[in-house]
A and B are shown apart, each in its own frame.
Chain A
Amino acid sequence: MNELLLVVTIAGERVALPANAVESVVELESLIPVPRAAAHVAGLSALRSRVLTVIDCMRSLELGETDCSDDIREAAVVELDGHHYALIVDMVEDVIEALSDPAPVRAAMGTGWERVSQGMVETEEGPLLLVDVAALIAGTDAKAAA
């Protein structure tokens, strides 16, 4: 069986997240900012009794800032090391099947994309970039921390 991918749009670009890493897709309502935290941490939100750390994917990719001022944002909820994160994306599209294993992208991408890239996967809708969720959460200071 081939891996399932969740197709989302980040900064206008369609990319794939590994679907088994994504617990659910939610619409974030309120957002509590975390002063002094890294820029890509948009804040905290609550999902039932769980606290979600909300990650602004555009900031994490150094592609600008998601406009959070208009009420509701779509986000993919993932779990990493026991913590729950909500990744803000422009839009969640669909779940599709991967037709190949990820292969290295040989063209030059932006530095942000380069950092989170797990390679290119073939799908029925053409090639998509597979994004590493952990790298997305770590943001720009991932290298410094490692």
Chain B
Amino acid sequence: MDDLIADFVAECREMLEALGGEIVAWEAQPDDRARLDSIFRFVHTVKGNCGFFDFPRLEALSHAAEDALADVRAGRRHPDGALVSAVLAIIDRIGEMVNAIEAGEEMPAGDDSALIQALAPGAEGAAVPVAAVADGTIKSSAAPRTIRLSVELLDRVMSTVSDMVLARNELARRLRESTSDVPVDGAFERLSSIIAEMRDAITRTRMQRVENLFVALPRMIRDLSAELGKQVLVDIEGGDVELDREMIEMIRDPLTHIIRNAVDHGIELPADRLKAGKREIGLLAVSARQSGNQILIDIQDDGRGIDGKKLVEKAVANGVVTKEEAAQLSPRDQLALIFAAGLSTASQVTSISGRGVGMDVVRSNVERIGGIVEVDSRLGEGTRMTLRVPLTLTIIPALTVSIAGQHFAIPRTAIEEIVRANGESVTLEHLGGAGVATIRGRRVPEVPLAGILGLDSNVEEKDRTLIVLRPAGGDVYALSVDRIHDHEELVVKPAAPAVMATGLYAGTTLADDGSPILLMDPAGIAKVGGVKLEMQERTARIAEGPAAAVSKETPVLLFRGLDGARRALRLAIVDRIEEVSISSIKQAAGQLRAQVGEAILPLAGANGAELPADKVRIFRLNDGSHEIGYAFAEVIDFATIDSDVIHADNPGEVSGVSLVGGEPAELVDPHWLFANHIGAAARNSEPLVCRLPADDPWMQNMLRPIIEAAGYTVVSHGEVEADLIIAKQGEEVGEGAHAIFLRSEPEPSGKKDDSIYRYDRAGLLMALKTANAGRGK
């Protein structure tokens, strides 16, 4: 019986979680039959089970809700705000009771008859302001077929698989030593590939869709905005991004906190918004995307923004910074003060936020899991918070280095660049015994790893390698090591307390040969090495000089196409490289498509070229929402475009030619690729109009396809009234229309600068989307 009850509780839980978003969506569109049905199904299931288990109160509640909803389904009744609130209240009560059943406690006290009466037609209910949900952002999710497994069991399977990999490595070594026997080698190869596949699959079992985290947000925001008398439009995107399930739990609280802040402090009351010339309904966009081995979660509101000056005043008053320091803060540093302990800009403490404990806790929680919180805000226009977290806690891409023959690993996420101490643009000096490296005009404190660890290095200082590290939330420093070895994906395990007590290590791991390696903690090294982090970024900027030219070099990946042409692709859009067998490439639905794992990607780069016999390597390109594959023969090198680009006459797969590494290379136009392979699918039914300057070749050649792919019709000056205007920074545009300004430098020129860097694809897409959502209704 206990087992049955546990199952019942788990089932209710799962349905309740999935329901949170549905109800709010239903409220916004009461005639949405699919959502009504799923809510009905929930109360119906509860009712059925209750009869079986003898929970009379639960049964009465669910029965009443079922009756009311059945009336709505039969068209006898129209769902109004009062009914929705009453159903919500009942579902909440059911949730409480389910919790109590699980804990084995008494049912929460209270009379349910008031709740049931509120369901009656014409019953007096508090009119609740409606929080709208953007169309189609929440798809009704059919529950996938699942079974329940304990995480411990999964962990055990995972560690067994790790054992298996080590045993395989051992066997591989023995096989190499003995005389080779072809059939044995063949069998071993097969075993190896099966083990690799299994390891991959097991790793995937720990992954969960971020949707699980997002699904509760609409409901939370609805309740919050109702309580505060605000109106908030929620736009959620990227729920299908996958993340380690432990990681999801770890970011739940920080995310909730940031969203509460955004609704409470960010978005203004409807009246204030109208006064400020904004729409009454505030926009809160939550989106997740994967970037390399990190997940980025953006929380963007269009509220009042953060007042940097006010923050500084407060920080000075609270003694967080001195007046002198405050005067030197850049706009970005000013905003970063919200993460300082004990600071809150809210002039009033509300029940929701503003108690001054908050952002500092958010930051430390996110940093504990190796993540970063970034804030970007413009006064009067809104705030964007970005959570950057690693994909998983257990497998960390790392760089192995050595000191005096002993190997150590450094998490790759913290590494900014690697330079040789005797490299061209690097000088190493000593001031009072402390090392200071100057890397391309930037002064960075140098920390010798050998010194920190108390090991004797026999490598001359000038022959060492400097690893420029940016620990989570901290500032850069350079770590000098004897030698760097390899990039490896390491399964990291927590180290024993006696090892962690040193403050230098983040965990232990096993190398491929089965020997233990210590994983360094970049923040810990900085602390032990005595690097003064807070101070450093500010002084470093002085060394750059005010007029330091920002490099305009674009990093590209130089490769040879299947047709033998030398080509280059911007590095930022290449997600990764995969090998697919020829058999998984098929002509389907009008174009070549490649199957990669479970995804089917449109395949570019293979048209008209001869495919190799068995396998072909492809780049996976990602524009933030869609993926396509690009087949190629071989990677030549990483390079940067520093010469001028000669643009092609007609838009096409190749946007121009430039000198890369001393030889001409064709530049592949990713905008065109996406527009051609994905664009048709992403087009909006009612196209919005966007105005682009006709005389700007960059905008016309590079930007136009991406804007068209986002669902806009592109026009030139003054032809028709535009919903959106895109212009270069500093240009004048007419009043009223929504405008996006693009700048050519990556860094904004000042606090007032609201332009977007023109290669900031994600920022651009977000801005396009925001404009779209704002105009679309």
Q: In the assembled complex, how far is the CB of residue A23 from the closest CB belonging to chain B, in whole angstroms?
A: 15
**Residue in contact with B166 in the complex, picked from A48, A85, A138, CB distance below 8 Å:** A48
- CB of B117 within 8 Å of the partner chain: no
Residues of B within 8 A of A30 (CB): 515
Quick check: B497 and A83 within 8 Å, CB to CB? yes
Q: Does A92 touch B at the CB level, under 8 Å?
A: no
Give the distance in Å from the alpha carbon of A36 to the alpha carbon of B451 in the complex. Answer: 11
List 10 interface pairs A-B (beta carbons < 8 Å), by A numbering.
A33-B406, A34-B505, A35-B406, A35-B454, A38-B501, A44-B508, A48-B166, A49-B165, A51-B516, A55-B498
A83 to B508, CA, bound (A): 11
B121 within 8 A of A: no
How far apart sit A113 and B719, CA to CA, in the bound complex (Å)? 92
Contact B496 A53 (CB under 8 A): yes
Whether B502 sits at the interface, judged by CB under 8 Å, is yes
How far apart are the CA atoms of A50 and B501 in the complex, in Å?
Answer: 20
Which residues in B have their C-beta under 8 angstroms from that of A51? 493, 495, 508-510, 516
Task: For the complex of A and B, list the 4 residue pairs with the smallest distance between their C-beta atoms, beginning with the closest.
Answer: A35-B453, A53-B496, A44-B516, A49-B163
From 45 to 89 in chain A, residues with beta carbon under 8 angstroms from any chain B beta carbon are 45-46, 48-51, 53, 55, 81-83, 85
Given A51-B495, A53-B496, 8 further pairs, Cβ under 8 A: A38-B498, A41-B498, A44-B518, A49-B166, A49-B514, A51-B509, A81-B497, A137-B498
State whether A46 touches B496 (Cβ < 8 A): no
Residues of A within 8 A of B (CB): 30, 32-38, 40-41, 44-46, 48-51, 53, 55, 81-83, 85, 137-139
Assess whether B688 is interfacial by the CB under 8 Å rule: no
B198 an interface residue at 8 Å Cβ cutoff? Answer: no
- Give the nearest-CB partner of B403 in chain A: A35
Interface of B is mostly: mixed
Q: Does B494 contact A (CB under 8 A)?
A: yes
State A40–B496 Cα separation when bound (angstroms).
13
Q: Count of B residues near A, CB < 8 Å?
A: 31
- By a CB distance below 8 angstroms, the chain B residues around A85 are 496
Across the interface, A46 reaches (CB within 8 A) one of B406, B454, B504, B514, namely B514
* Smallest CB separation, B455 vs chain A (Å): 6
> What is B's interface to A at a CB cutoff of 8 Å?
159, 162-163, 165-167, 406, 452-455, 493-499, 501-502, 504-505, 508-510, 514-518, 528
Q: Which residues of A contact B528 (CB under 8 A)?
A: 36
Determine the chain B residues whose CB is within 8 A of the CB of A44 once the complex forms. 499, 508, 516, 518
What's the nearest-Cβ distance from chain B to residue A71, in Å? 15
The reply to whether B162 and A139 form a contact with Cβ atoms under 8 Å apart is no
CA distance A24 to B455 in the complex (A): 33
A88 to chain B, nearest CB (A): 14
B502 to A34, Cβ gap below 8 A?
Answer: yes
Say yes or no: A34-B454 contact (C-beta < 8 A), given A44-B508, A51-B493.
no
Chain B residues with Cβ below 8 Å from A41 are: 496, 498-499
Interchain CB contact under 8 A, B499 and A34: yes
The answer to whether B498 and A49 touch across the interface, beta carbons within 8 angstroms, is: no
Q: Which residue of B lies closest to A41 (CB)?
A: B498
Q: Which chain B residues border A37 with CB–CB below 8 Å? A: 498-499, 501-502
CB <8 Å contact, B496 and A49:
no
CA distance A137 to B496 in the complex (A): 10
Smallest beta-carbon distance A4→chain B, Å: 26
Cα A138 to Cα B159 in complex, Å, equals 27
| Contact yes or no, B494 A32, CB < 8 A | no
Question: Are A35 and B455 in touch, CB under 8 angstroms?
Answer: yes
Note all chain A residues with C-beta closer than 8 A to B510. 46, 49, 51
* Contact yes or no, A46 B515, CB < 8 A: yes
Question: How far apart are the CA atoms of A33 and B499 in the complex, in Å?
Answer: 11
- How far is B498's CA from A138's CA once the two chains are assembled, in angstroms? 7
Min distance, Cβ A2 to any Cβ of chain B, angstroms: 31
Nearest CB in chain A: distance from B421 CB, A: 21
Name which residue of chain A comes closest to B517, CB basis.
Answer: A32
B residues near A34, Cβ cutoff 8 Å: 499, 502, 505, 518
List, in ascending order, chain B residues with CB within 8 A of A35's CB: 406, 452-455, 502, 504
- A82 vs B155: C-alpha distance in the bound complex, in angstroms? 13
Cβ contact within 8 Å between A49 and B162? yes
Residue of B nearest to A35 (CB): B453
Given A32-B515, A46-B514: A53 and B166 interface contact (C-beta under 8 Å): no
For A48, list chain B residues within 8 Å (CB): 163, 166-167
Determine how close the nearest CB of chain B comes to the CB of A100; give it in whole angstroms: 33
CA distance A48 to B517 in the complex (A): 14
- Answer whether A49 and B159 are a contact pair too, CB < 8 Å, given A34-B502, A37-B501: yes
- CB of B496 to closest CB in A, whole Å: 4
Q: Give B502's nearest chain A residue, CB to CB.
A: A36
**Min C-beta distance of A49 to chain B, whole Å:** 4
Q: Do the beta carbons of B514 and A32 come within 8 Å of each other?
A: no
Query: B515 and A36: CB pair below 8 A?
Result: no
CB distance from A130 to the nearest CB of B (A): 23
- Report how far A38 CA is from B496 CA in the complex, Å: 12
How long is the Cα–Cα vector from A82 to B497 in the complex, in angstroms? 11
* Complexed CA–CA distance, A40 and B101 (Å): 50
Do A36 and B516 form a contact, CB below 8 Å, given A49-B159, A53-B496, A53-B498? no
